[in-house]
Structure 1
Amino acid sequence: MSINNDQFLKDNPLEIINVLRELQKRDAPISISWPGKQCISKILKVTDGSLIIDFSSHAADNEALQHASKIKISAENHGAKIEFSLPQLQVTHYLNLPAFSSSLPSSLRFIQRREYFRIEAPLQATFHGSTKFDDGIPFIFPLRDISLGGVGALLDKELPTALQEGQCFEQVELDFASFGKLCLNMQLVTISERKIINRKNETVAVPRLGFRFLGVTPSQERQLQLIIFALERTAREKYNRVR
């Protein structure tokens, strides 16, 4: 959900250019949304008066964007949420490849988050993490939600006795099925319980684990952003189908 509060508003042209150039420099994914649609792209170039955005990987989205209005763009940068709007996008070329161009936004919102935005993993997807305890025993757990700061897991079995809050795991493999895999260092921050309804329509309490990422590189953060944006797109498309 967007936060409409003027304390987050930046309307100084130099500040806007600096924020956008930082996204370009980091090759950060951006989410482009317009009524009923969403795609993922990145900023290619920022000048004093214009913005060049890469074509999406989906031809249908590129075609639709040429006729779209009320375009909203969002991105994450070091835990801050960046949001701005553009009236329209025009087709251009950058380094002999098709791209979109626009004038710079007149303002943007730079929202420093106390917590990272979390998105729940699709229930039908078999997303999971896998690692080993110090004694070599494998530990595999289903993923429930993901953010740029960490992941949450709901166990479908009893809590392993070897688990303790504060425990660190190296090179945990996070498998997001068709969305890709990542290997990250993580720390178990919280162990709690959550009540869910199982397949027998019974309310049961299951262990919930909260992990935070340690030492995420810029490349890994970009991959996490792409996964989160892809999950958002999937959720949006599902909502539009059932609405």
Structure 2
Amino acid sequence: MSQDNTAGMPHGDHAPPDLSRYTLATPVEVVHHLASIAKSGHMVTVFSNKGKTFILTRFLEVDAKRGVLLLDWGADPVTNEQLLASERNVFVCSPEGVKTQFVTTAARKVMLDSGPAFEVDLPEQVIKLQRREFFRIQTPVGNPVSCHIADYPHQPLDLVLFDISLGGCSLWLPAPQTPGFELGQQYQNCTFELKPMGSLRVGIEIRHHLSTRLRNGNDAVRVGCAFLNMTPSSETLVQRYVGHLERERRALVG
């Protein structure tokens, strides 16, 4: 895979959100959840090299007795070596809409009957966001909504909106290596054109990343954001817009 600067952990003055109530911290809980992901065959993104590179993989096996997790070997030799050289790795996936994130120490190369694989020690804890705080709905593909980030470094940036809720949204990055979207990064001057309801002007904070493979085979990354500085009128605008999209969706499937 290519270089990716979007995967850093919270830094600077940006404090990470309080996720303690979503944390699995016992070995039994951790093993059970990771084993269910392995069984589903869901794609997992591993950010390595201090968030500068990433690899898409799958869990092969969760070995509770040895305390290790086996991962599928990647197709790109350079990225494989970067993962092996990384001392700290961040795993992110979203099986069935349940966002999962955890950190491990260095990966090791092991040989299985099927060929090479990665092996990492099981994490001590796993963050599992079991439910969404707000109803979230995808925005129209045929009439995409853009987020205009006026205070993006050097020049303003427009990103396509994937979905939205009262609490936040997710945005497609123009390229997996787009800089400036580390976890905890904030932008204060953002405008969303929520047609036909009006313009939403808020701040955003980057809360998570999700890598996916598009139908054309290309890799893409979207970032989940929390809204900042929401006013009562802003909340009303978003609620009206979400309701509008839901009515349109029901009309199409009804």
Per the normalisation by structure 2, the TM-score is 0.50
Distance 1:56 1:116, change over 3 A: farther
In the alignment, what sits opposite 2:56? 40
**8 Å CA contact retained: 1:45, 1:53:** yes
Q: Which of 196, 199, 213 is the equivalent residue of 1:192? A: 196
Instruction: Indicate the RMSD between aligned Cα atoms, in angstroms.
Output: 4.0
* Higher relative contact order (Cα pairs below 8 Å, separated by 6+ residues): 2
The residue type paired with residue 192 of structure 1 is P
- Equivalent residues in 2 for 1:85-234 (5 A)? 85-114=103-132, 129=141, 141-142=143-144, 144-146=160-162, 192-193=196-197, 225-227=212-214, 230-232=219-221
Tell me the SS of whatever aligns to 2:46. Answer: strand
Q: Which residue of 2 is the match for residue 136 of structure 1?
A: none
Q: How many residues align?
A: 154
1:39-94 Cα deviation digits (max 9, x unpaired): 21110111112110012232211011111011110111222211111111000123
The residue identity in structure 2 corresponding to 1:226 is R
| C-alpha distance 22-192 of structure 1, shift in aligned 2 (>3 A) | farther
Q: Contact 1:66–1:89 at 8 Å: present in 2 too? A: yes
On the 8 A contact 1:29/1:226 being kept in 2, the answer is no
Match of 1:22 among 26, 36, 57: 36
> Secondary structure of the equivalent of 1:28?
coil
Q: Name the structure 2 match of 1:239.
A: none
CA 1:227/1:117 → structure 2, altered by over 3 Å: closer, same or farther? farther
Unaligned runs of 5+ in 2: 1-9, 11-15, 146-159, 170-193, 201-210, 224-254
Q: Which runs of 4+ in 1 moved over 6 A?
A: 116-120
Structure 1 gaps of 5+ residues are 121-127, 130-139, 153-189, 197-223, 235-243
Q: What is the aligned counterpart of 1:64 among 63, 70, 82?
A: 82
**Hey, what's the Cα distance between the residues in 2 that align with 1:37 and 1:25?**
26
Q: TM-score, normalised by structure 1?
A: 0.52
Cα deviation for residue 10 of structure 1 reads 0.9
Q: Who is 1:219 aligned against?
A: none
How big is each residue's C-alpha offset from its partner over 1:169-226, in whole Å with a ceiling of 9 and x where there is no partner?
xxxxxxxxxxxxxxxxxxxxx9634559xxxxxxxxxxxxxxxxxxxxxxxxxxx943
Question: How far, CA to CA, are the matches of 2:162 and 2:124 in structure 1?
Answer: 32
User: How many angstroms apart in 2 are the aligned matches of 1:142 and 1:74?
Assistant: 26
Pairwise CA distance, 1:233: 8.2
More strand by share: 1
Partner of 2:100, secondary structure, is strand
Structure with max Cα Rg: 1
Give the direction of change, closer, same or farther, for the CA distance of 1:53–1:12 in structure 2 (3 Å limit): same
Q: What is the CA–CA distance in structure 2 between the aligned matches of 1:117 and 1:60, rounded to whole Å?
A: 38
- Contact 1:79–1:116 (Cα < 8 Å) also in 2: no
| Counterparts of 1:33 and 1:45, CA distance in 2 | 20
Q: Sequence identity of aligned pairs in percent?
A: 17
Could you tell me whether the CA contact under 8 Å between 2:45 and 2:56 is conserved in 1?
yes
